[in-house]
A and B are shown apart, each in its own frame.
Chain A
Amino acid sequence: MEEAVVPAAHVHAPPEGFIRKHVFSLDHKVIGKQYYGLGLVAVFIGMGLSWLMRFHLVWPTTKVPGLELLSSTGAPGGVITPEYYLSLLTMHGTLMVFFVLTNAPFAGFGNYFLPIQIGAEDMAFPRFNMMSFWITFCAFIVLILAFFIPDGPPISGWTAYAPLSAVGKDAGPGLAWGQSLWAMSIAIFCVGQLFGSLNFIATTLDLRAKGMTFMRMPICTWAWFITSAIGLLAFAVLLPACLLLLLDRMAGTSFFIPAGLVISDRLQNHAGGSPLLWQHLFWFFGHPEVYIAILPAIGIVSHVLITNMRKPMLSAKVLIYSMMSIGFLSWMVWGHHMFVSGMNPTSSLLFSFPTLTITIPATIITLIWLGSLYGANMQINAASLFALGFVSMFVSGGVSGFFLAQPSIDIYLHATYFVVGHFHMVMGVAAIFGIFSGTYFWFPKMSGRMMNETLGKLHFWITFIGTYCIFMPFHYLGLVGNVRRYSSFVDDFMAPLMPVHKFISIAAFVTGAAQFIFLYNLIHSRFRGKQASENPWNATSLEWSIPSPPPWDNFGGKHPVIYHDPYQYGVKGSKGDFVMQDSPEQV
């Protein structure tokens, strides 16, 4: 029976022993939690780094007690050097983009809920799945190692622009072994994500339960599916780019290094390469990566919003098609990151047009949310608050994108805090809000216990207001010409802006501290939370038809049959205002 769809999934027996259950587990739910946990560790490290940066920007000569233990050269006596500021910046960006925004909403929640939402017992290739997590874990360890080597992490930013990243130790601290570790880590990470994406696509196409047609998949399943298609192609480009970078660094090639380059008064023994090639390859991955981060969040937020609106979305179909067109257009816009790179201005114009086009599906999605919210009987809880917060961030951060999409304006704004504010709001914090929303929403299913709503709402309000206090002023700073990546502004023409920086830093400390409320809530609820019922939110999708937490084979040997679209809310059913997807009731 070779031709039958026989996934390896049904082969693996209930896991026994600690290692098989919790460490090298084949269970997609455990792997999902591992990804989420890795993201959680990375996000707190990344946040710590941003605290150090904000501290240094405002009090550049004040010592941070204990920091000299982490790096005696980077922070002699606890005072961060300008170079070490750049190291922190690089590690902050790399950790956040790769290990948080990719890991948690896509690999984490996707692994846990995609198979359940389509009615499968596991992923199509559980062993592959386990492997992709552990590869990602190795990538994380290799990256973190950069903190503990003598010359510290690289100073070239998360984009690792060549030739700075390619020439080696002459270019500055962290660019010897630190940068090599960075490139290795990202190459390993790409392999893990490629395997993960293959698995997601195969699972979605092949393991849907009877009756689970494509248009009956929940919106978040769609989002993970589209994201995995993007990931499959995007990481396949970053992988060879990192390999070429490693060749430049270790084998003496000059892919990204031009002739006659003098760095630190030394003529580099390279010729013929092009730094712009790195930018092309990197951003061909980098722009789709933005959507790898944001599409799962869009999916999660739509899922949470519909459940709490108690009525169907205006058009889930149009929303899904819009996500698809965002995924498609994401391949044509990488050049808008390179308007100031010296690329031909005609290309800038060509990249500007699809960039502006991408705002159309993004606007459609937003309008669908807003139109659906109109007249909805919204239930306010931590999950739905974060979902609404996401919509707010997505709009506020997205609007500045209109400005940056135009080369003539971008040339002025590109190297300023305006861009930093833009992507932190629309990609960074918005996706984080999606993760929070998903956490408050799915925690009862994942752990069998409810999270504390009061703490959740407190966490939301501090984070929501705090985020605006941090990132809105970034836009003003950028407009008045505050350049990015400088480690201090005290003796500078930007000194008059210091009060704004102080305000931002204090807001960052408060908002960051509020995240410990979330951490406390997460850990406390895991052990002491109220017992959760099977379906605490009265939701309709398949994950809510099984016990909390689900048994190892998800459906306990039963095989769900799907009768309905995912969001049958506001109907007069026997159980209330909703009908489950696997309920044979007529609607």
Chain B
Amino acid sequence: MAVHGYGAALMEASPFAIPSRKLTMWLFIISDAVTFGALLFGYGYLRTASPDWPAPFKFNPSILNVMIMTFVLVTSSLTMLGAVDSAKAGDKAKAGRFLWSTILLGVIFAGLHIREWFGLIDEGVRLFQNPWGSPLFGATFFSITGLHLLHVVSGVVAIAVVARKFARGSLTAGHVEATGLYWHFVDLVWMFVVPLIYLLNLSR
């Protein structure tokens, strides 16, 4: 465990008995969560302060699309879990299959998201205006989902890199696990985005 590995220097066991890389990923997740928290706080602040906040999302297609996207993302978390487990068990082929299915699901999510974005842009929603009410609707929608989409895309790229290097043996199961933590976090953020950005703006 944590007591070997640094030459002959006997480190005190890490307090959480996790390696530095994993610890750092957790720390990054905490700070990134604060970043999303600040954006969502700003969204709530502006939404409450705006008397003309629109509620444009109809069940079909918006909410239905979001349901499918959520299903895809949660499933990708499950495949990621499989990848981490098989990587730890040393089954490289199985881990690779799981990793590539995670990537595929991530790409599907991003594709659906971008399709939705284009649909909204067609309807006249912009960063600075929209046909329904407060211009901040578009601004908050695109900036928050955009930051999340950026996380998904960078996650897909990261998983692809890790998958290749893990197959070749230059990265370890620890790297797969750290990437997995990040991916679950991206999934978790989406669980806050869906009710706050979509369900709250459901048209009645």
B-contacting residues of A (Cβ < 8 Å)?
Answer: 1-7, 10, 119, 121, 124-125, 194, 197-199, 201-202, 205-213, 232-233, 235-237, 239-241, 243-244, 247, 251-255, 270-274, 277, 280-281, 284, 559, 561
Task: Name the segment of B19-27, B67-75, B93-101 touching the other chain.
Answer: B19-27
- A–B complex contacts, Cβ < 8 Å, 22 sampled: A3-B19, A5-B2, A5-B14, A5-B20, A125-B24, A197-B31, A205-B16, A210-B12, A211-B12, A232-B30, A237-B37, A239-B35, A240-B38, A243-B143, A244-B39, A247-B127, A252-B127, A252-B128, A254-B136, A270-B135, A272-B50, A281-B38
Residues of B within 8 A of A201 (CB): 23-24, 27
CA distance A284 to B37 in the complex (A): 12
Q: Are B24 and A124 in contact (CB under 8 A)?
A: yes
A-contacting residues of B (Cβ < 8 Å)?
Answer: 1-12, 14-16, 19-20, 23-24, 27-28, 30-32, 34-35, 37-39, 41-42, 45-46, 49-50, 52, 126-128, 134-136, 138-139, 143, 147, 172-174
Give the contacting residue for A1; candidates B4, B20, B134; CB below 8 A: B4
Q: Are B12 and A208 in contact (CB under 8 A)?
A: yes
Given A6-B19, A247-B139, A255-B139, A1 and B5 contact (CB-CB distance below 8 Å)? yes
Give the contacting residue for A253; candidates B19, B32, B38, B139; CB below 8 A: B139
Given A194-B31, A237-B34, A3 and B2 contact (CB-CB distance below 8 Å)? yes
Q: Are B139 and A5 in contact (CB under 8 A)?
A: no
List 17 other contacts, CB 8 Å, given A209-B11, A241-B38, A272-B134: A2-B173, A198-B31, A201-B23, A206-B14, A206-B19, A212-B12, A232-B31, A236-B31, A237-B35, A239-B35, A240-B147, A252-B127, A254-B136, A254-B139, A272-B50, A281-B42, A559-B9
Residues of A within 8 A of B9 (CB): 119, 121, 209-210, 559
CA distance A255 to B38 in the complex (A): 13
Residues of A within 8 A of B31 (CB): 194, 197-198, 232-233, 235-236
CA distance A236 to B1 in the complex (A): 32
Give the contacting residue for B35; candidates A198, A236, A559; CB below 8 A: A236
Given A237-B35, A244-B143, A559-B9, A253 and B127 contact (CB-CB distance below 8 Å)? yes
- Closest A-B pairs by Cβ, 4 of them: A4-B5, A252-B128, A559-B9, A253-B139
CA distance A560 to B28 in the complex (A): 30
Q: Are B139 and A7 in contact (CB under 8 A)?
A: no
CA distance A277 to B11 in the complex (A): 45
CA distance A184 to B172 in the complex (A): 36
CA distance A432 to B138 in the complex (A): 45
Residues of A within 8 A of B127 (CB): 247, 251-253
Residues of B within 8 A of A3 (CB): 1-2, 19, 174
CA distance A126 to B186 in the complex (A): 27
Chain B proximity of A238: nearest CB distance (Å): 9
Q: Are B45 and A5 in contact (CB under 8 A)?
A: no
CA distance A273 to B10 in the complex (A): 55
Give the contacting residue for B128; candidates A10, A237, A251; CB below 8 A: A251
Residues of B within 8 A of A209 (CB): 9-12
Residues of A within 8 A of B45 (CB): 274, 277, 280
Q: Are B7 and A253 in contact (CB under 8 A)?
A: no
Residues of A within 8 A of B28 (CB): 198
Q: Are A4 and B135 in contact (CB under 8 A)?
A: no
Give the contacting residue for A559; candidates B7, B34, B49; CB below 8 A: B7
CA distance A255 to B47 in the complex (A): 11
Give the contacting residue for B135; candidates A205, A232, A235, A272; CB below 8 A: A272
Residues of A within 8 A of B35 (CB): 236-237, 239-240
Residues of A within 8 A of B16 (CB): 205
Residues of B within 8 A of A210 (CB): 9-12
Chain B proximity of A537: nearest CB distance (Å): 26
CA distance A205 to B18 in the complex (A): 10
Residues of B within 8 A of A1 (CB): 4-5
CA distance A207 to B8 in the complex (A): 13
Which of A119, A201, A272, A561 has the largest count of B CB atoms less than 10 A from its CB?
A272
Give the contacting residue for B24; candidates A198, A211, A243; CB below 8 A: A198
Which of B31, B52, B174 has the largest count of A CB atoms less than 10 A from its CB?
B31
Chain A proximity of B24: nearest CB distance (Å): 5
Closest to A248 in B: B139
Q: Are A274 and B27 in contact (CB under 8 A)?
A: no
Q: Are A2 and B4 in contact (CB under 8 A)?
A: no
CA distance A559 to B9 in the complex (A): 5
CA distance A10 to B23 in the complex (A): 18
Residues of A within 8 A of B139 (CB): 247, 253-255
Chain B proximity of A351: nearest CB distance (Å): 16
Q: Are A273 and B20 in contact (CB under 8 A)?
A: no
Residues of A within 8 A of B50 (CB): 272
Give the contacting residue for B23; candidates A206, A211, A213; CB below 8 A: A206
Residues of A within 8 A of B37 (CB): 237
Q: Are B38 and A237 in contact (CB under 8 A)?
A: yes
Residues of A within 8 A of B5 (CB): 1, 4-6
Q: Are A7 and B135 in contact (CB under 8 A)?
A: no
Residues of B within 8 A of A254 (CB): 128, 135-136, 139
Residues of B within 8 A of A208 (CB): 11-12
Q: Are B34 and A198 in contact (CB under 8 A)?
A: no
Residues of A within 8 A of B12 (CB): 208-213
Residues of B within 8 A of A4 (CB): 1-6, 19
Chain A proximity of B177: nearest CB distance (Å): 9
Residues of A within 8 A of B138 (CB): 253
Q: Are A236 and B2 in contact (CB under 8 A)?
A: no
Residues of A within 8 A of B30 (CB): 232-233
Residues of A within 8 A of B174 (CB): 2-3
Residues of A within 8 A of B20 (CB): 5, 7, 124-125, 202, 205-207
CA distance A201 to B37 in the complex (A): 21
Chain B proximity of A289: nearest CB distance (Å): 14
Chain B proximity of A377: nearest CB distance (Å): 34
Residues of A within 8 A of B143 (CB): 243-244, 247, 253
CA distance A206 to B143 in the complex (A): 36
Chain B proximity of A128: nearest CB distance (Å): 8
Chain A proximity of B142: nearest CB distance (Å): 9
CA distance A486 to B127 in the complex (A): 37
Closest to B126 in A: A252
Closest to B35 in A: A236
CA distance A206 to B6 in the complex (A): 11
Residues of A within 8 A of B147 (CB): 240
Which of B10, B37, B52, B136 has the largest count of A CB atoms less than 10 A from its CB?
B136
